[in-house]
Structure 1
Amino acid sequence: MAKHPPIQPRLPVMLHGADYNPEQWSAYPEILKEDLRLMKLANCNVMSIGIFSWAKLEPEEGRFDFEWLDRQLDAFAENGIHAFLATPSGARPAWLSRKYPEVLRVGANRVRNLHGLRHNHCWSSPVYRDRIAILNGELARRYALHPAVIGWHISNEFGGECHCEYCQTAFRQWLMKKYGTLEALNHAWWTTFWSHTYTSWEQIESPAPHGETQVHGLNLDWKRFVSDLTIAYCKHEIEIVRPCNPELPITTNMHMTEGIDYRKLARELDVVSWDAYPEWHYTEENDDTRLAAWTAMHYDLMRSLKGKPFLLMESTPSLTNWQSVSKLKRPGMHKLSSLQAVAHGADSVQYFQWRKSRGSSEKFHGAVLDHSGHENTRVFRDVAEVGRLLGGLKEVVGTATPAKAAIVFDWDNRWAVKDAQGIRNSGIRYEETVLQHYRAFWELGIPVDLVGSEDDLSGYKLVAAPMLYLISEENGKRIERFVEEGGTFVSTYWSGIVNETDLCHLGGFPGPLRRTLGIWSEEAEGLHARDRNGILLRPEAAWGMAEEYAAHEIADLIHLEGAEALAVYVSDFYAGQPALTRNRLGKGQAYYLATRVRDLAFYIEWYARLAEEAGLARAMNADLPQGVTAQIRTDGELDYVFVQNFTPSEQTVPLDSESYTYVESGQSAGDRLRLPAYGLAIVRRATR
């Protein structure tokens, strides 16, 4: 397995830096000069600059001021610091909103917003697109070949939607292209329900709180349209800056905005960037392990979008200012949480922000530099230590994650399942369901990708698709072939319910997965919080296990159509009926979990057995304490294993018979690793 090329060949090292806003400090030249000294002291080699600088770059229409940015980039180049240069479309200047009110968004209530906030602009607005194209063109011609600039940072955390007439027209055109005829659209949306049939394209409007909300096909297509429109806008910006230097990699920072299909957006980017802000130390039990798994899942998703290393573009070096209670990172947590991203495929650790703002909404958001303005702080020392450590990980840059397991995570499935008005409207918990399955891999130290149902599955040994509510016939056949050719497939309750336009599959659930899973789902119910049930594994069928696990929230009543029951329900009128099944199909096998099991231990034990059957390798052949995980990156000759302790107690991890050395020191790791509270070790070994 060869390495991937570095994100920027001119800087083939781990990137370390922050969002930098010199425009906020133009009246303080002594601070700008001091920043350069402190950046080098913090072992930073890259800054993101210009993200919200439109008003500084173009203080009035057609009048540009680049002198301040010239000075800053020249100073970077002189001091060995590089820059991701941002396009400033994340927030528009007041003069633009005043002169061209059409650039401001219209809400779902059909009221146009006032100037303010950020991303309060219409992706369809011709004026907005024209004005940003002019400014981006000026930036690209001036800086695309600047020695400090190593990449483009397009806008900032895209998100949101507009319901203006421009967007309504664009939505109708999008629908015309997709469906061709109103007859096809009316059938796909099942508009005969409640006499919602459309007889002209002009009758179609976006969902509104005082209008249409109950046509699920409309709701789903609106979300797809907004995602496509946002991506098209991003592509518009990319097309302006790329020609001036096609060798500069292009990215935009993502932050789990549910409204954008990041799998599609990633196709337009050279490298994926992610903004991570976990709420560490939030629970009363002081247990960060669930959050660590949740964070790791998103890192694995970002890596999987393009199948190569990504950038951690933003994180906080201390606390945020937007959590209900803003907690400081405990000793060790900054290093651990930063290197967690690297363990899962990041080739950078970057922060929001370099220096705390003096005023406005983020003046108390964490930063490398506090308002004190000097390096004599715990946070600065933590950041400098991470920078020093990253400087010693050059050999890890570009390495891959050898995942042979995958979890299916589709955006349109996510949208549809939350809009279903089905068995559990008080909390369907789609993301929580995905996390339950992901966390088992995380606790076991098994590398995993997050893929789409349209992706090629042939390179995996095991694929899990929790709550695959929306699935087309074509994608169902793809999964069926995967199993027939020897793969292991796992699915759950509330899967195979609707097709790609949110119409229920006819002929029995789980629709196109019915033959693969060998079951028929006759009924499903939601359970109240007071309802209790459980599943009992049958020892003669389920790996000799005769254990009972608590189940809650959802129960699916199924019939066997070739599958065998591995576990049955414990109580209620369906006690004794199948709750976990296995179906052998071709060379492979498919499992179906009919209820939401409460116990984490079940998922860990179950997937440990499935992984063993499928021949999945763990990062380390060791029984890891709960809350300790091991992740692996490899260049095909050497494996780099990141062993991470997300508990507030010291943990010991026995090493297997293989020879490990510490990456930092090159010394032998011996026969065990001792990890302090919130500690980690990075070791290498010859590739298995």
Structure 2
Amino acid sequence: MFYGGDYNPEQWPEEVQEEDVALMREAGVTAVTVGVFAWSRLEPSEGEYDFAWLDRVLDRLHDGGIEVVLATPTASPPPWFTLAHPAGLPVNADGVRLTHGSRDTYCVSSPEYRAAALRIAGELGRRYARHPALAMWHVHNEYGTDCRCDLTAAAFRTWLEKRHGSLAALNEAWTTAFWSQRYSDWAQIMPPRATQYLPNPAHVLDFRRFLSDSFLDAFVSQRDLLRTFDPSIPITTNFVQGDWVSVDHARWAEEVDLVAVDHYPDSAGMSAEEQTAFAGDLARSWGGGRWLLMETAPNLIYTPGRMHAKEPGRMIRHSLGYVARGSAGAMYFQWRQPLGGAELFHSAMVPHAGPDSPVFREAVSLGRILENLPPLGDPPRSEVAVTWDAQSWWALQGAGLPSADIDYAAAVRQAHRALYRAGVPTDFVFPGLPLDLDPYRMVVAPHLYLVSDRAADAFQQFVAAGGHLVTGALSGIAEPSTRVIPGGYPGAFREASGVRVTEWHPLDPATPIALDDGSAAHGWSERVELAGATAWARYAGGVLDGEPAITRQEFGRGVFWYVSAGLDDESWRRLLGVVAAEAGVSPLVPDLPPGVEAIRRGSLLFLLNHSSSEFRGIAAGSFAVVEGQGWKALR
């Protein structure tokens, strides 16, 4: 079990570092991440290295029985680098070159940056690959810095030529006949920058794909260099999500030895627990069952505009939720709260108040809990999956869409939330990769905008073989190039769904939409023609009064459900409950009350009581871990 967090000894004198090791041992810490932002300390001027302090840190940690996840510090180039190599600074979409003063001030396409990054990684590898404290390499930090400079433009053109093969193919894929955008020379293509009106959506999407591949190439170059020093040491980088992150993590997962994820819930209410479940299920699915929570906040939740202090027991419950969903431990940002800098009030296991504090006492309790857990097996494969497709997400962030309120990530989270509240264990599947849907009885595919022929065939075969598929608005609309599939929506799924959508009717999100089965919706409706499907529910009132809203078609041995309305959470939960029952899917533990969560990992059943009431001997805000397969074991 990895238990600990990001440790920044370069910020503290030696006497504090001595205290740190003693406190880590008291808390049961097993591993810390070192060096993430230490480049300027490790290389104070170009080619001049200072490793003596890091030698002492690693030796001290090893003597204290604490393993080290050693980072390459390449997310934060030092001031000397940006002064000597100004072309290594990023350029934003307005064409403005940013200045040094934060982390992530680099251009991944800069040869000078890439060379400097490999040099410092190589020096670390040569010196520490055989150090007895080293447990894992942590390359970079949260890849995702966007740059649109001329160096990036040249690299983008090279990438486009490899992807499309010819300008004729690119012009066809990008529909450049529109608005006289046809390219006659590769040199005419630039990264998407600020423009007069709407940018070409295919151009923007390909640029995000290019960025993902460029970041991956930067990671792989460091990874492969580090492997030359000792191939037995595992190597990872920390995945971070956000609508600004141009990284397709599902594609990256096969390039790391252990998927590592940073996750910070952003709600003070119960949705923080729902977000924790979402992140854990997604990471487990990326990692093929096993992954690592590399960063989360121990005692704060960063809600918009303020920092919410976690209630007693919440740090433990969140951490166990990740572990139950397959994490190889619980790591935090950060170990000790800094006294200055841009994140001086960021959450930490040792806060400004010191170890005599609620968060440190809870960290000590969690360390003992993790140490005393019985052996952890792998989480079982679920019978239900939700689709996650980064490229559909990026495409639906584009301009010129029928509603400014379209939110891919929110739609996927809503589907997962409905299953979470129903107590149904859930995996994720990735339509941009080869799909194996055989383990599943039921798949939910919200807003799956881009669908390749290969993915469409996989979904159709899944239903024909007896699967139950639920999709709807904004799904099956376009090819991966973003070119619309003509003939009516949902183009890629028309045959299997038995419907043909001829019009979208987006509304203000506050506008209520009623269905005749009692379901409530808002914000989105469609004119749906039946082409073999039957109407499960119809619109009640408004311009679409009496028209199909939710449809069901038996296709082969399975069933295809199409949901055209923007259902609210409760309506989604009820509908997916109906589909699950038809598919033969049951909750892991039936009839759990709201706020009580059950997760199975191996032979262990984790029961997390997030509610304010005692449940079956589990105090409010507490947990139980039950060995064996039966619920009765709790008694």
Q: Same fold (TM over 0.5)?
A: yes
Partner of 1:260: 247
Q: CA 1:133–1:212 in 2, change beyond 3 Å: closer, same or farther? A: farther
How far the C-alpha of 1:473 sits from its partner, in A, is 2.4
Q: 2:402 matched to 1:423? A: yes
> 1:619, 1:641 within 8 Å by CA — same for their partners in 2?
no
Structure 2: distance between partners of 1:483 and 1:320: 41
How far the C-alpha of 1:349 sits from its partner, in A, is 0.7
> 1:402, 1:633 within 8 Å by CA — same for their partners in 2?
no
Matches within 5 A, 1:560-575: 560-575=530-545
Structure 1: distance between partners of 2:60 and 2:275: 39
> 2:382, 2:425 within 8 Å by CA — same for their partners in 1?
yes
The residue type equivalent to 1:586 in the other structure is: G
The residue type equivalent to 1:24 in the other structure is: Q
After alignment, is 360-369 or 313-322 more displaced? 313-322
Structure 2: distance between partners of 1:486 and 1:228: 37
Partner of 1:405: 384
Partner of 2:514: 534
Picking from 90, 93, 117, the partner of 2:78 is 93
Question: TM-score of the superposition, structure 1-length normalised?
Answer: 0.88
Partner of 1:543: none
Structure 1: distance between partners of 2:536 and 2:148: 50
How far the C-alpha of 1:520 sits from its partner, in A, is 0.6
How far the C-alpha of 1:280 sits from its partner, in A, is 4.5
Partner of 2:335: 354
Picking from 322, 326, 329, the partner of 2:307 is 326
Q: Secondary structure at the match of 2:309?
A: coil
> 1:345, 1:401 within 8 Å by CA — same for their partners in 2?
no
Q: 2:159 matched to 1:174? A: yes
How far the C-alpha of 1:184 sits from its partner, in A, is 1.2
Matches within 5 A, 1:213-292: 213-257=198-242, 258-281=245-268, 288-292=269-273
Q: 2:496 matched to 1:511? A: no
Question: TM-score of the superposition, structure 2-length normalised?
Answer: 0.96
Partner of 2:610: 646
Structure 2: distance between partners of 1:234 and 1:212: 35
Partner of 1:676: 619
How far the C-alpha of 1:111 sits from its partner, in A, is 2.0
Partner of 2:4: 17
Q: CA 1:377–1:123 in 2, change beyond 3 Å: closer, same or farther? A: same
> 2:174, 2:200 within 8 Å by CA — same for their partners in 1?
yes
After alignment, is 510-519 or 290-299 more displaced? 290-299
Runs of 4+ in 1 over 4 A off after TM superposition: 320-323
The residue type equivalent to 2:422 in the other structure is: L
How far the C-alpha of 1:91 sits from its partner, in A, is 0.4
Question: What is the count of residue pairs matched by the alignment?
Answer: 627
Structure 2: distance between partners of 1:203 and 1:402: 49
Matches within 5 A, 1:250-649: 250-257=235-242, 258-281=245-268, 288-319=269-300, 324-373=305-354, 375-396=355-376, 398-419=377-398, 421-425=400-404, 427-453=405-431, 454=433, 455-529=435-509, 531-537=511-517, 548-598=518-568, 600-620=569-589, 622-634=590-602, 638=603, 640-647=604-611, 649=612
How far the C-alpha of 1:332 sits from its partner, in A, is 1.5
Structure 2: distance between partners of 1:607 and 1:345: 25
How far the C-alpha of 1:32 sits from its partner, in A, is 1.0
Q: Secondary structure at the match of 2:93?
A: coil
How far the C-alpha of 1:313 sits from its partner, in A, is 0.9
How far the C-alpha of 1:474 sits from its partner, in A, is 2.4
Q: What whole-Å deviation, never above 9, does each CA across 1:26-57 have from its counterpart, x for those lacking one?
A: xx221111111100001101000011111111
Q: 2:17 matched to 1:32? A: yes
Structure 2: distance between partners of 1:321 and 1:178: 40
Structure 1 spans left out of the alignment, 5+ residues: 1-13, 282-287, 538-547, 653-672
Identity of aligned residues (%): 37
How far the C-alpha of 1:15 sits from its partner, in A, is 1.6
Q: What whole-Å deviation, never above 9, does each CA across 1:660-679 have from its counterpart, x for those lacking one?
A: xxxxxxxxxxxxx2333322
Structure 1: distance between partners of 2:406 and 2:617: 40
Q: What whole-Å deviation, never above 9, does each CA across 1:362-390 have from its counterpart, x for those lacking one?
A: 121121112343x2211111001111101
The residue type equivalent to 1:613 in the other structure is: E
The residue type equivalent to 2:352 in the other structure is: H
How far the C-alpha of 1:343 sits from its partner, in A, is 2.0
Matches within 5 A, 1:48-63: 48-63=33-48
How far the C-alpha of 1:213 sits from its partner, in A, is 4.4
Structure 2 spans left out of the alignment, 5+ residues: none
Q: What whole-Å deviation, never above 9, does each CA across 1:522-576 have from its counterpart, x for those lacking one?
A: 1111012453321123xxxxxxxxxx02111000111111111111111113211
After alignment, is 39-48 or 268-277 more displaced? 268-277
Q: What whole-Å deviation, never above 9, does each CA across 1:222-252 have from its counterpart, x for those lacking one?
A: 1111111111111111111112111111111
Picking from 51, 54, 57, the partner of 1:72 is 57
Q: What whole-Å deviation, never above 9, does each CA across 1:571-622 have from its counterpart, x for those lacking one?
A: 1132111111111111111111110112x222222222222222224221x2
Q: Secondary structure at the match of 2:628?
A: strand
Q: Which has the higher contact order (CA 8 A, sep 6+)?
A: 1
Q: 2:85 matched to 1:122? A: no
Q: Secondary structure at the match of 2:5?
A: strand
> 1:522, 1:557 within 8 Å by CA — same for their partners in 2?
yes
Structure 2: distance between partners of 1:138 and 1:194: 51
After alignment, is 38-47 or 351-360 more displaced? 351-360
Q: Secondary structure at the match of 2:228?
A: helix
How far the C-alpha of 1:434 sits from its partner, in A, is 1.3
The residue type equivalent to 1:614 in the other structure is: A
Q: Over aligned residues, Cα RMSD in angstroms? A: 1.7
Structure 1: distance between partners of 2:488 and 2:253: 36
Q: What whole-Å deviation, never above 9, does each CA across 1:131-164 have from its counterpart, x for those lacking one?
A: 1211111111111121111000111111121111
